[in-house]
Amino acid sequence: MNVNLGEFKVGTLSVVEGIRCYQCGTYIITSVTPCRNLSSTHLHECPPEAQFCSKYSNPAIQVYGCEKHCEERVQNSFEIHCCGEDKCNGAEITRGSSWIFLLAIPATWYMML
């Protein structure tokens, strides 16, 4: 005796949230509007296609935003920094080699004892 209970599919609803980045000022190759007084009011969810937070900086100007693609480089006197975690572009972005240097200091002190 075969019993057919029918078929049903259970779907899952997934909500895709974008990365949360500080967004302040604008950078277009021909025009720059600097960010003034970065604060928590500048933290926003990026569009779903954006995977990186960015910080464009030179000694006088900082611009914060979201990027679909991001490559760390220097362009038109701006250092472009990229990171891939929520809120990562609001603080000072430190490159990995600097962290290695900071970790090496205590090890050096220990070896001198």
pLDDT digits (tens, 9 = 90+) for 76-110: 899 999 999 999 999 655 444 444 334 444 544 44
Mean local confidence (pLDDT), 32-47:
96
**pTM recorded for the entire structure:** 0.66
pLDDT of residue 15: 53
Q: Which fold has domain 20-112?
A: CD59 (2.10.60)
In what helix (H) or strand (E) does residue 110 lie, and over which residues does it extend? helix 96-112
For the chain, what are the domain ranges? 20-112
- Concatenating the DSSP letter of every residue in 18-82 gives PPEEE-BSEEETTEEE---S--GGGEEEPPTT--EEEEEE-SS-EEEEEESS---EEETTEEEEE
Residue 16 banded pLDDT, cuts 50, 70, 90? low
CB 55 within 8 A of CB 64: yes
pLDDT of residue 18: 84
